[in-house]
Amino acid sequence: GPGRPKPAPRPTFRSVLPNNDDKVTVPGGYDHHVIVRWGDAVLPDAPGFDVENQTAEAQSKQFGYNCDYVGFHQIDGDRGLLWVNHEYTNENIMFRGYTNGDEADVEHIRVAIQAHGGSIVELEREGRTGKWVLAGGERRYNRRVTGNSPTVLTGPVAGHDLVKTAEDPTGREVRGILNNCAGGMTPWGTFLTAEENFNQYFVGGDGVPEADKPALARYGIPTSGNTYGGRRFDRAEERFDLARHPQEANRFGWIVEVNPFDPGFTPAKRTMLGRFKHEGATIQVAADGRIAAYMGDDERFDYIYKFVSAKKYREGDTDHNLTLLDTGTLYVARLTGNSPEEEIDGTGALPADGEFDGYGDWIALATDTESFVDGFSVAEVLVHTRLAADAVGATKMDRPEDVEPSPVTGKVYVALTNNTAREPGQADEANPRAANKHGHVLEIVEHGGDAAAEAFSWAVPLVCGDPEDEDTYYAGYDKSKVMPISSPDNVAFDKDGNLWISTDGQPGTMGINDALHVMPVEGRFRGELKTFATVPVDAEACGPLITEDNKTVFLAPQHPGENGTFEAPTSVWPDGDFPRPSVVCIWHKGGQDVGR
Ligand code: FEO
Ligand code: CA
Ligand code: CA
Ligand code: CA
């Protein structure tokens, strides 16, 4: 639970400077190496990677594409389990001669489906620093979950008509997880992995029953015109054609729980946590032992959510804890500013009280047995969560990405990555900048410090951009002493409670590579943002994760070279030939704590 806030040690490393280098750059005194790359063996019988002769069979045993969220459990001092999401695929740089649409090679599509999902790889520590490498010896926990692996639906939606298909008349068994972006670790040792832009895999939305179209459209699935022109996952698997299988899309967009310690565990889609473009889910134990899961829906003008379990967490009782996400209450956030509306003009200028801040409440949408939204059953709230949240007047945010509680203070931080579509008249104190190109970070303080509270206060400690621009704000810190940041996406904490923020979009918004930054959020250095690492050309800085012993930063450069083609790559990281999404670790050469 929340402890007494203490001033965090000030990060003293020298910032990495903005650059466009095709490599990972770390501060002086630190080193890094690539732990695992797209195509590396995960399962013992995986064939060697051959980029010119890829097969779905091989890819189902090899490390997948576009690593995003990274979770890590140290299983004894020098061994650990790394979970990595494989969010999506860039066929244009994966395959020689790739073409879209009807011309696509069906085996390319089959490979792409197997390159999704997640991987578990065993690591071991090398030497006495924070350097981790792929483990040797028996690696019994190594595992691949793909876009085609068996999963189950659990919670109130399992078995409901809304998720029954010809292939699965029970409505309980789904093949695959798709577009798993960020995630979280639970206190009971499992990983949560979040299905985000699941809409992009489906075609045939024009052919569904008229009554189903508004819900599909609200989730970004086209429902008119020719929808068969782009990626054709349906050419590999018919279920992706909604004209033939209109409920299949309802089976994606969930938080999925994976138990890395039980290789026989079937990944479980936890329907009580709602269905939307889930960025991630992070857990905090409430004052009475129930657990809260914080979640963002990454879309312009979408919402921040919280789930609170009905049952209490019991340390050491895994069977019980694996049921916690199936019963409880799903909430959506409403934020109200405390300054007069006319003082929020959309320019980013601070109001007279000197801060973008206010109070908020968690609006209950449903429990597992009762809906609080007129016209929606429990299952409808959970499957059509965006429509239910629209109906109760939740606050439309600037693309909520990671939402994560500080393990030191219990305060909750939300990365709001950007929203260039917000009009000046739509600015509010929680989203104070129109045409919000660079994004901002929100800080939530639950009432009484209790994660199960239904009310909270909030503030905006960071309004991103070039610190020389007037519309940026670094918690009031001297802006001549901070680094630029744009498009905050994933967040993490070190053991001192400093906030680590990785970015997705700096090349487009500032002409510099994406980066991993760190910023104290308590004490006199609150707002002193530094840059800890930069990633290769066209890559996004995914992960990040700081190990519990504070000795290692895991960082996952995703989609290096995404704007090129296989034949004309814009990045050749990490090996100098073609780009490979990979996970790196960064450590201090002297074995000191990272970031200090
Ligand atoms: Fe996949 Fe919202 O980033
Ligand atoms: Ca205010
Ligand atoms: Ca993300
Ligand atoms: Ca993003």
pLDDT tens digit string along 235-278? Answer: 999 999 999 999 999 999 999 999 999 988 999 999 999 999 99
Say if strands 150-154 and 268-270 run parallel, antiparallel, or are unpaired: parallel
What's the pLDDT score for residue 1?
A: 46
Q: Which atom of ligand 1 is nearest to the CA of 179?
A: 1
Cβ of 402 closer than 6 Å to ligand 1, yes or no, is no
Taking residue 218's Cβ as centre, other Cβ atoms within 10 Å add up to 16
Q: In this model, does residue 442 exceed pLDDT 70?
A: yes
Whether the pLDDT of residue 522 is over 70: the answer is yes
Tokens 């000795």 found at: 551
Distance 14 CA to ligand 3 centre (A): 26
Tens digit of each residue's pLDDT (9 = 90 or more) over 86-108 = 999 999 999 999 988 788 899 99
pLDDT exceeds cutoff 70 at 7: no
401 lines ligand 1 (CB under 6 A): yes
147: helix, coil or strand? Answer: coil
Q: Residue 3: pLDDT above 70?
A: no
Confidence of residue 225 (pLDDT cuts 50, 70, 90): confident
Mean pLDDT for the chain? 96
Q: Give residue-wise pLDDT tens across range 286-335.
A: 999 999 999 999 999 999 999 999 999 999 999 999 999 999 999 999 99
Instruction: Read off the tokens for 54.
Output: 């890829």
Average pLDDT over residues 549-554: 97
pLDDT tier, 137 (very low <50, low <70, confident <90, very high otherwise): confident
Q: What is the number of H-type helices and E-type strands within the chain? A: 8, 31
Task: Please identify every residue whose CB atom is under 5 Å from ligand 3, which is an ion.
Answer: 181-182, 489
Expressed in angstroms and rounded, the spacing between residue 432 Cα and the centre of ligand 2 is 11
Bridge partners of 41, per DSSP, are: 62
| SS3 readout for 157-198 | CCCCHHHCCCCCCCCCEEECCCCEEEEEECCCCCEEEEECCH
Q: Whose CA is nearest to atom 1 of ligand 1?
A: 181
* Bond preceding residue 569 cis, omega within 30 of 0: no
Question: What is the predicted ipTM?
Answer: 0.96
The closest alpha carbon to 252, from 352, 316, 180, belongs to 180
For residue 296, the ligand 1 atom closest to its alpha carbon is 2
Cβ–ligand 1 distance for 181 under 6 Å, the answer yes
Calculate ∠ Cα 283-284-287, nearest 5°.
150
Whether the per-residue pLDDT at 4 is higher than 90: the answer is no
Which two tokens mark 414?
């939300």
The pLDDT value recorded for residue 102 is 80
Distance 482 CA to ligand 2 centre (A): 23
Output the pLDDT for position 229. Answer: 78
Q: Separation of 355 CA from ligand 2 center, angstroms?
A: 5
Tell me, in angstroms, the distance from the centre of ligand 4 to residue 241's CA: 27
- How many angstroms separate the alpha carbon of residue 439 from the centre of ligand 3? 13
pLDDT of residue 202: 97
| Ligand 1 contacts CB of residue 298 (under 6 A) | yes
pTM of the model: 0.98
Which atom of ligand 1 is least distant from the CA of 196?
Answer: 1
Q: How far apart are the first and last CA of the chain?
A: 24
Alpha helices in 315-466 (DSSP H): 318-321, 378-383, 385-391
pLDDT at position 65 over 60: yes
Indicate if the pLDDT at residue 361 is higher than 50.
Answer: yes
